[in-house]
Amino acid sequence: MSEATEHVKCLIIGSGPAGYTAAIYAARADMHPVMYTGMQPGGQLTITNEVENYPGYPDGISGPEMMEEFKKQAERFNTDIRFGMATAVDFTGPVHKVTIDAKTVITADTVIISTGASAKWLGLESEQRLNGYGVSACAVCDGFFYRGQTVALVGAGDSAAEEATYLAKLCTKVHLIVRRDEMRASKVMQKRVFNTPNIEIHWNSETDEVLGDKGVEGVRIKNVLSGEKTEIPVTGFFVAIGHTPNTQIFKGWLDMDEVGYLKNEPGTSLTKIPGVFVSGDAADKRYRQAVTAAGTGCMAALDAEKYLAAKEVEEMA
Protein backbone atom coordinates (compact mmCIF):
# COMPACT_ATOMS: atom_id res chain seq x y z
CA MET A 1 0.00 0.00 0.00
CA SER A 2 1.39 3.38 -1.00
CA GLU A 3 1.92 6.25 1.42
CA ALA A 4 -1.10 8.25 2.53
CA THR A 5 -1.69 11.46 0.63
CA GLU A 6 -4.32 12.94 2.95
CA HIS A 7 -5.61 12.65 6.49
CA VAL A 8 -9.27 13.29 7.38
CA LYS A 9 -11.26 13.29 10.59
CA CYS A 10 -14.22 11.38 9.16
CA LEU A 11 -14.27 9.29 6.00
CA ILE A 12 -17.60 8.04 4.64
CA ILE A 13 -17.45 5.14 2.19
CA GLY A 14 -20.51 5.00 -0.03
CA SER A 15 -23.46 7.29 -0.68
CA GLY A 16 -27.19 6.57 -0.59
CA PRO A 17 -29.54 7.49 2.27
CA ALA A 18 -27.17 6.12 4.96
CA GLY A 19 -24.03 7.81 3.66
CA TYR A 20 -25.63 11.19 2.97
CA THR A 21 -27.41 11.25 6.34
CA ALA A 22 -24.15 10.38 8.09
CA ALA A 23 -22.50 13.20 6.14
CA ILE A 24 -25.15 15.74 7.18
CA TYR A 25 -24.77 14.88 10.87
CA ALA A 26 -20.96 14.62 10.74
CA ALA A 27 -20.63 17.94 8.91
CA ARG A 28 -22.90 19.72 11.39
CA ALA A 29 -20.68 18.35 14.18
CA ASP A 30 -17.59 19.95 12.57
CA MET A 31 -16.10 16.57 11.64
CA HIS A 32 -15.40 17.82 8.09
CA PRO A 33 -16.46 14.54 6.45
CA VAL A 34 -15.04 13.37 3.15
CA MET A 35 -17.31 11.03 1.21
CA TYR A 36 -16.38 8.69 -1.61
CA THR A 37 -19.57 7.86 -3.46
CA GLY A 38 -18.70 4.50 -5.00
CA MET A 39 -19.48 3.61 -8.60
CA GLN A 40 -23.22 4.22 -8.17
CA PRO A 41 -23.62 7.61 -6.47
CA GLY A 42 -26.89 7.56 -4.58
CA GLY A 43 -26.97 3.76 -4.37
CA GLN A 44 -29.93 1.54 -5.21
CA LEU A 45 -32.43 4.41 -5.09
CA THR A 46 -30.98 5.75 -8.32
CA ILE A 47 -32.64 2.81 -10.12
CA THR A 48 -35.97 3.31 -8.30
CA ASN A 49 -38.57 5.13 -10.35
CA GLU A 50 -40.93 6.42 -7.67
CA VAL A 51 -40.47 6.68 -3.90
CA GLU A 52 -43.77 7.20 -2.09
CA ASN A 53 -43.01 5.80 1.38
CA TYR A 54 -40.32 8.23 2.56
CA PRO A 55 -41.69 10.76 5.07
CA GLY A 56 -41.71 14.38 3.93
CA TYR A 57 -42.57 13.70 0.28
CA PRO A 58 -46.39 13.69 0.26
CA ASP A 59 -46.56 13.59 -3.54
CA GLY A 60 -43.74 11.06 -3.93
CA ILE A 61 -40.41 11.64 -5.64
CA SER A 62 -38.19 9.74 -8.04
CA GLY A 63 -35.23 7.91 -6.49
CA PRO A 64 -32.59 9.89 -8.43
CA GLU A 65 -34.25 13.22 -7.48
CA MET A 66 -34.37 12.23 -3.83
CA MET A 67 -30.69 11.31 -3.80
CA GLU A 68 -29.84 14.62 -5.48
CA GLU A 69 -31.66 16.43 -2.66
CA PHE A 70 -29.80 14.38 -0.03
CA LYS A 71 -26.54 15.26 -1.77
CA LYS A 72 -27.35 19.00 -1.86
CA GLN A 73 -28.16 18.98 1.84
CA ALA A 74 -24.86 17.24 2.66
CA GLU A 75 -22.98 19.75 0.47
CA ARG A 76 -24.77 22.66 2.15
CA PHE A 77 -22.89 21.76 5.33
CA ASN A 78 -19.61 21.47 3.39
CA THR A 79 -19.30 17.71 3.05
CA ASP A 80 -16.48 17.01 0.60
CA ILE A 81 -18.17 14.63 -1.86
CA ARG A 82 -15.88 12.83 -4.29
CA PHE A 83 -16.47 10.25 -6.99
CA GLY A 84 -14.35 7.18 -6.31
CA MET A 85 -14.42 3.68 -4.94
CA ALA A 86 -12.76 2.21 -1.85
CA THR A 87 -10.75 -0.78 -3.04
CA ALA A 88 -8.83 -1.81 0.10
CA VAL A 89 -8.63 -1.07 3.82
CA ASP A 90 -6.06 -1.42 6.58
CA PHE A 91 -7.52 -1.27 10.07
CA THR A 92 -4.42 -2.42 11.98
CA GLY A 93 -3.66 0.83 13.77
CA PRO A 94 -5.60 3.54 15.60
CA VAL A 95 -5.55 5.56 12.38
CA HIS A 96 -7.42 3.75 9.62
CA LYS A 97 -6.15 3.51 6.05
CA VAL A 98 -8.47 3.31 3.05
CA THR A 99 -7.27 2.96 -0.54
CA ILE A 100 -9.36 4.71 -3.19
CA ASP A 101 -9.39 3.45 -6.79
CA ALA A 102 -6.39 1.20 -6.00
CA LYS A 103 -4.01 4.19 -5.86
CA THR A 104 -4.86 6.94 -3.37
CA VAL A 105 -4.53 6.21 0.35
CA ILE A 106 -6.59 8.25 2.81
CA THR A 107 -6.01 7.98 6.55
CA ALA A 108 -8.93 8.70 8.84
CA ASP A 109 -9.67 8.97 12.55
CA THR A 110 -13.14 7.55 11.91
CA VAL A 111 -14.60 5.55 9.03
CA ILE A 112 -18.32 5.22 8.36
CA ILE A 113 -19.19 2.33 6.05
CA SER A 114 -22.29 2.96 3.93
CA THR A 115 -21.52 0.70 0.99
CA GLY A 116 -25.01 -0.82 0.81
CA ALA A 117 -26.05 -4.02 -0.89
CA SER A 118 -26.87 -4.93 -4.47
CA ALA A 119 -29.89 -6.95 -5.52
CA LYS A 120 -29.17 -10.22 -7.27
CA TRP A 121 -30.63 -10.41 -10.76
CA LEU A 122 -31.39 -13.26 -13.14
CA GLY A 123 -29.12 -11.84 -15.83
CA LEU A 124 -31.69 -11.45 -18.60
CA GLU A 125 -31.36 -8.60 -21.08
CA SER A 126 -35.10 -7.88 -20.88
CA GLU A 127 -34.92 -7.78 -17.08
CA GLN A 128 -32.29 -5.03 -17.16
CA ARG A 129 -33.94 -3.15 -20.03
CA LEU A 130 -37.27 -2.98 -18.16
CA ASN A 131 -35.73 -2.32 -14.75
CA GLY A 132 -37.78 0.56 -13.31
CA TYR A 133 -40.44 0.05 -15.99
CA GLY A 134 -42.25 -2.86 -14.39
CA VAL A 135 -39.24 -4.83 -13.17
CA SER A 136 -38.29 -4.38 -9.51
CA ALA A 137 -36.23 -6.04 -6.78
CA CYS A 138 -38.28 -4.54 -3.93
CA ALA A 139 -41.94 -5.43 -3.48
CA VAL A 140 -42.29 -3.27 -0.36
CA CYS A 141 -40.94 -0.26 -2.32
CA ASP A 142 -42.90 -0.72 -5.53
CA GLY A 143 -45.81 -3.08 -4.82
CA PHE A 144 -48.25 -0.20 -4.29
CA PHE A 145 -48.02 0.75 -7.98
CA TYR A 146 -49.48 -2.65 -8.94
CA ARG A 147 -52.56 -2.51 -6.75
CA GLY A 148 -55.38 -4.50 -8.40
CA GLN A 149 -53.06 -5.91 -11.07
CA THR A 150 -51.45 -9.27 -11.84
CA VAL A 151 -47.74 -9.67 -11.14
CA ALA A 152 -45.03 -12.33 -11.12
CA LEU A 153 -42.29 -12.89 -8.57
CA VAL A 154 -39.17 -15.08 -8.78
CA GLY A 155 -37.68 -16.69 -5.68
CA ALA A 156 -38.02 -19.49 -3.18
CA GLY A 157 -36.53 -18.24 0.12
CA ASP A 158 -38.01 -16.40 3.09
CA SER A 159 -37.69 -13.01 1.34
CA ALA A 160 -39.56 -14.31 -1.71
CA ALA A 161 -42.29 -15.80 0.47
CA GLU A 162 -42.61 -12.56 2.43
CA GLU A 163 -42.74 -10.43 -0.72
CA ALA A 164 -45.25 -12.77 -2.41
CA THR A 165 -47.66 -12.55 0.54
CA TYR A 166 -47.16 -8.78 0.70
CA LEU A 167 -47.97 -8.42 -3.01
CA ALA A 168 -50.97 -10.75 -2.64
CA LYS A 169 -52.61 -8.18 -0.33
CA LEU A 170 -52.34 -5.53 -3.06
CA CYS A 171 -52.61 -7.47 -6.31
CA THR A 172 -55.38 -9.51 -7.87
CA LYS A 173 -52.97 -12.38 -8.51
CA VAL A 174 -49.33 -13.24 -7.85
CA HIS A 175 -47.52 -15.83 -9.99
CA LEU A 176 -44.64 -17.25 -7.91
CA ILE A 177 -41.91 -18.78 -10.07
CA VAL A 178 -39.90 -21.46 -8.23
CA ARG A 179 -37.03 -23.27 -9.92
CA ARG A 180 -37.25 -26.51 -7.94
CA ASP A 181 -40.13 -28.68 -6.72
CA GLU A 182 -39.91 -27.14 -3.25
CA MET A 183 -39.23 -23.82 -1.58
CA ARG A 184 -36.19 -22.97 0.55
CA ALA A 185 -38.26 -20.74 2.82
CA SER A 186 -38.93 -21.70 6.42
CA LYS A 187 -41.99 -23.91 7.01
CA VAL A 188 -43.96 -21.07 8.59
CA MET A 189 -43.32 -18.80 5.59
CA GLN A 190 -44.20 -21.59 3.14
CA LYS A 191 -47.45 -22.16 5.01
CA ARG A 192 -48.36 -18.49 4.57
CA VAL A 193 -47.76 -18.76 0.82
CA PHE A 194 -49.74 -22.00 0.47
CA ASN A 195 -52.64 -20.51 2.45
CA THR A 196 -52.86 -17.38 0.29
CA PRO A 197 -55.45 -18.17 -2.40
CA ASN A 198 -54.33 -15.59 -4.98
CA ILE A 199 -50.73 -16.86 -5.12
CA GLU A 200 -50.21 -19.41 -7.89
CA ILE A 201 -46.93 -21.33 -7.67
CA HIS A 202 -45.18 -22.49 -10.83
CA TRP A 203 -42.89 -25.32 -9.67
CA ASN A 204 -39.78 -26.47 -11.58
CA SER A 205 -39.89 -23.26 -13.57
CA GLU A 206 -37.41 -20.59 -14.57
CA THR A 207 -37.86 -17.23 -16.27
CA ASP A 208 -37.12 -17.43 -19.97
CA GLU A 209 -37.94 -13.79 -20.80
CA VAL A 210 -39.66 -10.71 -19.43
CA LEU A 211 -42.07 -9.58 -22.14
CA GLY A 212 -42.82 -6.00 -23.12
CA ASP A 213 -41.42 -3.07 -25.05
CA LYS A 214 -41.75 0.09 -22.93
CA GLY A 215 -43.17 -1.69 -19.89
CA VAL A 216 -43.77 -5.20 -18.58
CA GLU A 217 -46.60 -6.95 -20.40
CA GLY A 218 -45.91 -10.53 -19.43
CA VAL A 219 -43.37 -13.19 -18.55
CA ARG A 220 -42.41 -16.34 -20.42
CA ILE A 221 -41.48 -19.22 -18.13
CA LYS A 222 -39.88 -22.54 -18.98
CA ASN A 223 -40.46 -25.84 -17.20
CA VAL A 224 -36.97 -27.15 -16.37
CA LEU A 225 -38.13 -30.79 -16.62
CA SER A 226 -40.19 -30.79 -19.82
CA GLY A 227 -38.78 -27.69 -21.54
CA GLU A 228 -42.32 -26.49 -22.14
CA LYS A 229 -42.70 -22.69 -22.31
CA THR A 230 -45.70 -20.71 -21.07
CA GLU A 231 -46.50 -17.01 -21.41
CA ILE A 232 -48.26 -15.33 -18.48
CA PRO A 233 -49.74 -11.81 -18.83
CA VAL A 234 -48.46 -9.61 -15.96
CA THR A 235 -47.81 -5.90 -15.50
CA GLY A 236 -45.11 -6.24 -12.84
CA PHE A 237 -42.14 -8.57 -12.46
CA PHE A 238 -40.37 -8.83 -9.09
CA VAL A 239 -37.05 -10.53 -8.42
CA ALA A 240 -36.52 -11.83 -4.87
CA ILE A 241 -33.46 -14.07 -5.09
CA GLY A 242 -31.46 -12.20 -2.48
CA HIS A 243 -29.01 -9.34 -2.07
CA THR A 244 -25.23 -9.20 -1.96
CA PRO A 245 -23.80 -6.72 0.56
CA ASN A 246 -20.99 -4.61 -0.91
CA THR A 247 -18.56 -5.52 1.85
CA GLN A 248 -15.90 -7.67 0.16
CA ILE A 249 -13.04 -5.27 0.99
CA PHE A 250 -13.74 -5.62 4.73
CA LYS A 251 -13.27 -9.39 4.75
CA GLY A 252 -10.71 -10.35 7.37
CA TRP A 253 -11.03 -6.99 9.10
CA LEU A 254 -14.62 -6.91 10.33
CA ASP A 255 -17.02 -9.61 11.50
CA MET A 256 -19.68 -10.57 8.97
CA ASP A 257 -22.27 -13.29 8.52
CA GLU A 258 -22.11 -16.08 5.94
CA VAL A 259 -23.58 -13.83 3.23
CA GLY A 260 -21.30 -10.87 3.96
CA TYR A 261 -23.51 -8.52 6.01
CA LEU A 262 -21.36 -6.69 8.55
CA LYS A 263 -21.99 -7.36 12.23
CA ASN A 264 -22.40 -4.46 14.61
CA GLU A 265 -23.00 -4.09 18.31
CA PRO A 266 -26.82 -4.37 18.67
CA GLY A 267 -28.54 -1.00 18.90
CA THR A 268 -25.44 0.86 17.68
CA SER A 269 -23.34 1.31 14.55
CA LEU A 270 -20.18 0.06 16.28
CA THR A 271 -18.08 -2.67 14.65
CA LYS A 272 -15.36 -4.64 16.43
CA ILE A 273 -12.75 -2.06 15.29
CA PRO A 274 -12.81 1.16 17.37
CA GLY A 275 -13.47 4.14 15.14
CA VAL A 276 -15.08 2.09 12.35
CA PHE A 277 -18.86 2.29 12.09
CA VAL A 278 -21.41 0.71 9.75
CA SER A 279 -24.75 2.01 8.50
CA GLY A 280 -27.41 1.10 5.95
CA ASP A 281 -27.79 -2.07 3.93
CA ALA A 282 -24.19 -3.16 4.42
CA ALA A 283 -25.39 -4.40 7.83
CA ASP A 284 -29.19 -4.51 7.44
CA LYS A 285 -30.53 -7.65 5.78
CA ARG A 286 -33.95 -7.35 7.38
CA TYR A 287 -35.54 -4.00 6.53
CA ARG A 288 -33.54 -2.62 3.58
CA GLN A 289 -35.55 0.63 3.38
CA ALA A 290 -34.34 4.16 2.64
CA VAL A 291 -35.78 5.50 5.89
CA THR A 292 -34.11 2.84 8.07
CA ALA A 293 -30.82 3.32 6.22
CA ALA A 294 -30.99 7.06 6.87
CA GLY A 295 -31.63 6.39 10.56
CA THR A 296 -28.53 4.21 10.87
CA GLY A 297 -26.51 6.85 9.00
CA CYS A 298 -27.50 9.31 11.74
CA MET A 299 -26.49 6.75 14.40
CA ALA A 300 -23.08 6.19 12.78
CA ALA A 301 -22.28 9.90 12.70
CA LEU A 302 -23.34 10.37 16.33
CA ASP A 303 -21.30 7.31 17.36
CA ALA A 304 -18.29 8.65 15.45
CA GLU A 305 -18.66 12.08 17.08
CA LYS A 306 -18.80 10.45 20.54
CA TYR A 307 -15.73 8.32 19.72
CA LEU A 308 -13.71 11.39 18.66
CA ALA A 309 -14.76 13.34 21.77
CA ALA A 310 -13.64 10.47 24.02
CA LYS A 311 -10.36 10.26 22.14
CA GLU A 312 -9.69 13.98 22.64
CA VAL A 313 -10.30 13.63 26.39
CA GLU A 314 -7.83 10.71 26.50
CA GLU A 315 -5.18 12.71 24.67
CA MET A 316 -5.62 15.66 27.04
CA ALA A 317 -5.32 13.47 30.15
Name the burial class of residue 59, with classes exposed (0-12), middle (13-18) and buried (19+) by CB atoms within 10 angstroms of its CB: exposed
Contacts of 47 (CB under 8 A, 6+ apart): 63, 131, 132
Q: Give CA–CA dist 236/286, Å, rounded.
A: 23
- Residue 138 designated active-site: yes
Q: What is the DSSP letter of 196?
A: -
CB of 240 within 8 A of CB of 74? no
Q: Give CA–CA dist 291/196, Å, rounded.
A: 29
Catalytic residue among 90, 138, 208, 298: 138
Catalytic residue among 109, 141, 284, 303: 141
Beta strands in 86-204 (DSSP E): 86-90, 96-100, 104-113, 117-119, 135-136, 150-154, 173-177, 199-202
CB of 238 within 8 A of CB of 136? yes
- Residue 10 designated active-site: no
Write out the catalytic residue numbers.
138, 141-142
